[in-house]
A and B are shown apart, each in its own frame.
Chain A
Amino acid sequence: MQGVRRPTLSEARLESVLETAPDGIIVMDEGARILVFNKACESLFGYDAAEVIGENVRILMPQAHHDNHDLYVQRYRATGERKIIGIGREVEGRRKDGSIFPLDLSVGEAQTPNGRQFIGVIRDLSARRETERRLASVQADLIRVTRVSALDEMGSVLAHELNQPLTAIMLYLQALEREVHRIQVTHSRLEPRTSELLGKATREAQRAGSIIQRVRQLVEKRAPERKTANLNVVVDEALELAMLGHHRSVYLRRFGPTTLPGVLIDTVQIQQIVLNLTRNAIEACQCEADPTVTVTTWAEGDIVCLSVADSGPGIPAGRMGTLFNAFRSEAGNGMGIGLTISRAIAQNHMGELLVDPGGDGKGACFTVRLPAAADTAAQNRDSVAAMPMAAAAEADKS
């Protein structure tokens, strides 16, 4: 173009427009050969203008579109039916390095002394796509968080709604027991079977009651409250909840000494950790042969430890970096959020949550380490901490 003659004023203007335009501009002839490839195109596609001028425009498209593009051009020339010209659409471009990127393409047409030419204006959509992708990901995270809190809410409502009929059942059973007792006394007739069955029914109703109680304790919003507790008891109670619905599919092994130093903890928060780690462990190994979750408690000097290990495949190295990131849950079940909260709880207790990723046939193992309470008399396993309200009722009665 240059060197033959001085460019005219309008040619100079055009040149300047092409060079300074922020969008990519390509001009091609009827044979789809590239005539103009501006500066912006060079940085978009990674080609120098000299490399592509004279080439078929297909060079800038992914392989899959090569043949189609020729067909498009042929069809337009034959029918004059506009599919893109004057309309513009989103297509894919291919850089010199082979990478594909989304772009917005508008095409115009010009009749010139040298025949029909097509002008393409190109805008890179990579950044917009990335923003959209991130937005979608944030939305998905938000939905996940909402779902977790909706589940909490539902657990709370369910616990309350089930509690009413359960209360009635337990009262009826107590009334029935009195009735049977009265019949036995007035008619001097013993009803050992009836009493035995009633006793069994009452025990089962109480078991349902204690499960509801535990669900309620876990999901109720409440101020944190620290007291010295026996980690064994706290863990066993949480495991009962965590294993609900998994007793048949996953084998739970529980190891621990009968006595442990006391820990000054918010029992509900620590139970949340146990519940979370155990649920994750179940999820990690339930597709394996002989899925096993091993929960161990032990003391190391002034530290009381709890570990939850699974027989799953371990945590891939690539996931370790984001494992505790609240919003990077590949499992898609809020695991990331759970681990983040678990670690925060452990740290609030002056403790820590450690992870051994396993791998090579070894499952993952999470360990919570908590400082023993200062006035640490070893507590044995039977000293179940009384429910606060039951304790209040006891106090009131006396």
Chain B
Amino acid sequence: MTVHIVEDDDGVRDALSELCRAVGRSVQLYPDSEAFGSGATVEPDDMVLVDIGLPGEPGTEVVRRVFRLPVPPKVIVISGLPLADIHHAMRDFSNVLVMRKPLTSELLALLA
């Protein structure tokens, strides 16, 4: 299983990848939605971690792309945006796990 991390903040992206590696996951890193769109090969048992506050195409585009796959993998949305903005951005999606930054050990539990 590979964890695909779409996050524009270098520190957060690197820290996420370190945590994933620490629990034995391989990672693919993308600084934005466009890079994910053009370069990602996602398997059904992979996991996609995406920040919705991305520059350029919003993170919700990543979610849309993933959901169009025949067997979509698990998607976790992370965000530091105000709650109201998160609700607004995610209004078209139900059933997507959203985690607010700073991320707690909940994420670790999901990765392990």
Q: Hey, which bits of chain A sit against chain B, CB under 8 A?
A: 156, 160, 163-172, 174-176, 178-179, 182, 205-206, 209, 212, 216, 220-223, 387-390, 392-393, 396-397
Contact = CB atoms under 8 A, between A and B. Distances in A.
A171 B16 contact: yes
Given A165-B11, A167-B103, A168-B11, A175 B21 contact: yes
B35 interface: no
Interface string B77-106: 000111110100000000111111111111
B82 A393 contact: no
A385 to B, nearest CB: 14
Nearest to A208: B102
B97 A205 contact: no
A298 to B, nearest CB: 32
Given A163-B101, A168-B11, A223 B84 contact: yes
Given A171-B12, A174-B105, A160 B80 contact: yes
24 contacts: A156-B82, A164-B12, A164-B80, A166-B101, A167-B101, A168-B11, A170-B102, A171-B15, A171-B18, A172-B18, A174-B19, A174-B105, A174-B108, A175-B15, A175-B22, A178-B22, A179-B22, A205-B102, A220-B84, A389-B86, A393-B97, A396-B98, A397-B97, A397-B106
Given A171-B103, A220-B82, A221-B84, A389 B11 contact: no
Contact of B83 (A169, A175, A220): A220
B9 to A, nearest CB: 5
Contacts of B106: 393, 397
A223 B23 CA distance: 40
A223 B88 CA distance: 13
A167 B23 contact: no
Nearest to A177: B22
A393 B108 CA distance: 14
Contact of A167 (B80, B82, B83, B96): B80
B43 interface: no
